[in-house]
């Protein structure tokens, strides 16, 4: 979760180099991400314009994509992972508030 928060902060600040040192099981790993472009997601909140990000795999047994909403301070809207063994995981924002405003596809902040 920590790298996701830092990734969000960097996107807010216009960063294009998205590399993060992470300590995992006592070892330092570098997570690298690339911006793939804009994508509209259909969600329970309606259609949301997002920026799609891919984690660049390095000795990793999973593929990871993240979608952030620029108009909502790059809030994470969806995360999808696929593991080599075939398991898939998906998290999708269904409801929430930001700065006291109920989120919907019409919410602009």
Q: DSSP label at 59?
A: S
Residue 4: its pLDDT value, please?
Answer: 85
Q: Residue 5 corresponds to which tokens in the numbers above?
A: 């928060």
How many CB atoms within 10 Å of residue 73? Answer: 14
Helical ranges in 1-109 per DSSP H: 2-12
Output the pLDDT for position 1.
65
pLDDT in tens, 74-94: 999 999 999 888 899 999 998
List of the chain residues with pLDDT < 70 = 1, 106-109
Structure token pair of residue 50: 């997002």
Q: What was the pLDDT predicted at 108?
A: 67
For residue 35, the cross-strand partners are 53
């Amino acid at each position: 979760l920590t790298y996701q928060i830092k990734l969000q902060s960097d996107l807010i600040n216009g960063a294009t180099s998205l590399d993060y040192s992470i300590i995992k099981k006592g070892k330092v790993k570098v997570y690298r991400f690339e911006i793939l472009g804009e994508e509209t997601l259909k969600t329970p909140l309606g259609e949301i314009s997002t920026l799609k990000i891919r984690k660049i795999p390095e000795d990793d047994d999973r593929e990871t994509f993240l979608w952030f909403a620029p108009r909502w301070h790059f809030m994470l809207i969806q995360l999808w992972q696929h593991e080599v063994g075939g398991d898939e995981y998906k998290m999708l924002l269904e409801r929430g508030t930001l700065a006291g405003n109920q989120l919907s596809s019409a919410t602009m902040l």
